[in-house]
Structures are given as C-alpha cells and as structure tokens.
Copies of this chain bind each other. A is one copy, B any other.
C-alpha cells in the first residue's frame, strides 16, 4: 500500500473527543478509527487490518478447538427475547425496531435466543452432541454513557460462541477447552490475560470467568493471591475471616449508657477505643419485586457485597439500597438499625458475625448501646452466608496467602448457562439414548474485538505512538523512501510483497521528520528507510527498540523471517 493513497492518514494536533484513554487518542491520531457519533466508530483501512488479524487469530483458535462458525440475523425477532423474559430484564440497553408490517425486532447485545432458536429447529439426538457454534457479529448496547473509546461502545463486533451438551459433565470439558483457547488467543496478540472468576449473574453455578488484562483504567476490580493461583472478580472473591479475639472470655450481654454524640463508626472507635472489627454493622436493602426489607449484618471492618448477598437469597439483580421510607417502614432510621428485632425485616448475616467475641452494638438507641453481644447467644439471622466484599490484605480462602487488589480490562468471558435458556425456550431438547427428550445443557463464550484491539494499544505504546505486536500489526514493514531512494524503494516494495510481506510505503514528498513521526505513530514493527545515502543497503529500525542499523538486504530478509515466520 502506498501511503499517499491510503485512506485515513495520521492527524496530529488537538485531543480527539470521546475519551481520554491513550488507546483512543492514538487510534484516532494514527488513522485507525474515526468516530461516527458517540460510541459508534468507523474502522479505517489501517484499523480494519488490525481488527481482521485479531478476527483471524480468534477464528483459528476457535476452529482448532472444534467450534463451528456460522451467522445469525442481526435483527432478532423480539418474541424470542420475550420467551426468556430478556426483552424486559435486559432493559434499556436493548434497542428495538419495528418493520412496516409491524414485526418487532431486537438489536441484540448477545445471541443466546437466536442460537437456541436455530438449534431447536433441528431434531437433535445425543449423537449430534456436543457442538459449539459461534459467530463474529455486530452487537448493540444502548449505553447512556459511551466515553470509553473502543472500551465501551454502543456497537461492536463480538465473537460469541454457544456450546450445546448432553449434560453438565460434558459442558465442563468444553469449558476447559474454551479457557485454553482463550489463553492461546490472547497470548498470540501479546496480551497476558488473567482468568478471573466472575459473577455468573442469573445463572448461578460455578463456572464463569472473565479474561482480564491488568490495567489501571480497567473497569474490572479483582483480587489475586500473591502467587496468582487464585484470581476473582470483587463480586465473587472469597477470603478467610480471621478470628479477631478468640481468647476473650464471653461476657454477659448488657445495655449501657452511651453519649448522644456517638453516631458513626469513627465516633465508636473514639468512644470505645477498639478497632472497627469489634462493632456490628447493618446495611439495609429492599427487594424490588417482593418489597421485602433485608438487613445484612456484618462485622464493622467489612463491607457488604451486594452481588454475593443477592445470590445468597436468590434475588440476583433485584436488591436496591433501602430508602428513608423503607427504614421508617421497619420503625427506624439511618444509623440506628438494630441487628435484631425489626418486625417484618429479614436478617441475613455474614460469616464474620461468628469471628468476634463480645461485639459492641446491635441495638443502639439515642443514649444507649448494647455490648458483649454474641452471635447465636444474643441474636441470630435467618441465615449466615458469604456476603462480604474481599479486600486487599485479607487472607485467601485457604488461609495460605494475602489477597492483592488489581484492576483490569475485561477482554473476554466464558460462561456456564446450564439449562437456563433451554428450559425457558420450548423445544430446546435432544433425544437421549433412552429415547427421552431432555433439555440441552449450554455454555457461552464471548470476546469483544474492538475492545481487545484497544487493550493491545493500552499495553503496547509509548509517547510517540502505537507499538503493534507483529501478529496483529496492520502491515509488516513501514518502508520510507527519502530523496534519492525512490528507485531502490520501488524495488524493495515489489520484492517484499512478492515474498508475502505486507508493506506500507511512504512515498510522499514530505520531510524525513514528518515521515518518521508518522511511522512512530502508526507503529508497524519494522521501519525500513532507503535514501541516496543508504545505497544498496537499508536502514533498519524496530518500533519496539531504539537502535538504527544499516543492513544488507540479505540481513533484512533474515530478520523479517525471524519476526514474522509462524505468525
């Protein structure tokens, strides 16, 4: 490709709207992408080359793992989403459109319903199972805010795969196979993606992992052990609750006087001179469907993890923080919620309630407080469960290491769906060996391509531009001809291309300074310069290095093979 005729050249100058993310800025300036309207992007020829190399890597590994590519229509008949109740629960992020005959469609963010629908059109037997079908298709999310460049788009290409199995056992094997494929995929594009346990949302079950690339701007917060063997999203991370004062004697429950100024946790610490762990803490929620008031009791130094609480009481996505009105309904107000005794409230306790002897609090009035409160003896909850947020420095669940907090960008996920869709959608069955129709057991597996591309740029860049990994670089060689090097460049251009190398040739009548700056911004792994000065030789520079060397053509070829063979 001659750079002069490339559509989408570099743009230096002011910051480009939409996002302050460095990947966004570099991709716009380098001529890889352009914004259409917020959250919707053109991929220019340069950016599309990278996108399509990412697609090819994903396809290669998916196919090697036995998955089969296909495609579903972009417009999903809305009645399918109604079958699974997702037309409502996916809520505002789902766009819908009606055709002129009145048929309604969803612009889907995922395609579970579509895939189940096509699968149930066939009379499947156990002999046809398992299979894993996937597509690369445009997905839509009607995000209110979309300021994350390619990290949070309203429209993007996603690889979404759906596997169908006879039972959970068979699914587990596929889940492992997909996890391996994902590691291979991200490794091939230079990303070190951690497999992080994540929340399975409505589906419960044990199998759900995010593939996360560590990054300070990432939206995923997760916790890992020092050795990395355990990694879990904050929503699900578990930890060991240490006993705070196991050797203290149990003292008799007492209601004592307490000055009126003691209201907050800080006040307590000042007044009692004991650390936060010694106080009882309560957080109140309302179930949006049943209206139940839930009081979550926890040790004072811990925070309630709403996602865990929702799973504990089977109310995923259904809890909201209680309002003042809600508190009034159970006869109390903010700061004075009791650990027992509010009529009509459901008490759910964290396991940490059993780790302190002689808690302070639990039934606090204006000028009194309860002390020496012990779980089991003085109060109990409807259930004890893991409803606490893991924090850095907590002990890992096995008690062997401390947890470390990290942030990262989620580039993919793998997901156990189980029977969720196949039981909601009539006819999603197979005929088993015993001639009985049984529901299909499912998993799903997603990778966002634009997001992955942006993540690579977040990881691989410097102040001058992108530094593409060779496997997904838009071109293999950035050839620059300076005055007197035109003929030699034309010859190199032809010979490199004849040998299968993708060459971007900057043959413009521009200064060396402009051409070098553009090459740095565009970030192709190898820069070759020919000029009057280089004669038969070629100036070689790698984008990820600083050394400029003058090499024979033979040596240039040798090094190119070294970099690009096997990619």
Write the residues of chain A forming the contact surface with B, with a CB cutoff of 8 angstroms: 1, 4-9, 11, 34, 36-37, 40-45, 47-49, 51-52, 66, 68-75, 77, 92, 95-97, 99-101, 103, 107, 114, 117-119, 121-122, 127-128, 130-131, 133, 138, 140, 142, 144, 154-155, 508
Query: B95, A99: Cβ atoms under 8 Å?
Result: yes
The smallest C-beta distance from A52 to any residue of chain B, in angstroms, reads 8
Query: A75, B155: Cβ atoms under 8 Å?
Result: yes
Which among B1, B101, B122, B142 is the interface contact of A99 at CB below 8 angstroms?
Answer: B142
Which among B48, B66, B95 is the interface contact of A97 at CB below 8 angstroms?
Answer: B95
The smallest C-beta distance from A104 to any residue of chain B, in angstroms, reads 11
Closest B residue to A137 by CB, please name it: B138
Question: When chains A and B are docked, how far (Å) is the Cα of A127 from the Cα of B506?
Answer: 13
**A131 contacts which chain B residues (CB < 8 A)?**
5-7
**A101 contacts which chain B residues (CB < 8 A)?**
144
Query: B100, A97: Cβ atoms under 8 Å?
Result: no
Contacts A45-B69, A73-B155 known; 17 new A-B pairs at CB < 8 A: A1-B68, A5-B128, A6-B131, A7-B70, A7-B131, A41-B73, A42-B70, A45-B68, A45-B133, A47-B70, A48-B70, A51-B71, A52-B69, A74-B138, A74-B155, A95-B97, A99-B154
Query: A42, B4: Cβ atoms under 8 Å?
Result: no
Closest B residue to A97 by CB, please name it: B97
Q: A45-B69, A101-B144, A127-B508 are in contact. Are A77 and B138 (CB under 8 A)?
A: no
Query: B8, A70: Cβ atoms under 8 Å?
Result: yes
Question: When chains A and B are docked, how far (Å) is the Cα of A209 from the Cα of B44?
Answer: 28
**A144 contacts which chain B residues (CB < 8 A)?**
100-101
Grouping DSSP codes into helix (H, G, I), strand (E, B) and loop, the A interface class, with mixed when no group exceeds half, is mixed
The smallest C-beta distance from A90 to any residue of chain B, in angstroms, reads 13
Question: When chains A and B are docked, how far (Å) is the Cα of A36 from the Cα of B108?
Answer: 14
**A103 contacts which chain B residues (CB < 8 A)?**
37
The smallest C-beta distance from A231 to any residue of chain B, in angstroms, reads 33
Query: B45, A77: Cβ atoms under 8 Å?
Result: no
Question: When chains A and B are docked, how far (Å) is the Cα of A6 from the Cα of B132?
Answer: 9
Question: When chains A and B are docked, how far (Å) is the Cα of A68 from the Cα of B6?
Answer: 8
Which among B4, B99, B107 is the interface contact of A127 at CB below 8 angstroms?
Answer: B4
Question: When chains A and B are docked, how far (Å) is the Cα of A45 from the Cα of B122?
Answer: 14
**A69 contacts which chain B residues (CB < 8 A)?**
45, 48-49, 52
Query: A7, B133: Cβ atoms under 8 Å?
Result: yes
Which among B51, B70, B114 is the interface contact of A44 at CB below 8 angstroms?
Answer: B70
Query: B155, A9: Cβ atoms under 8 Å?
Result: no
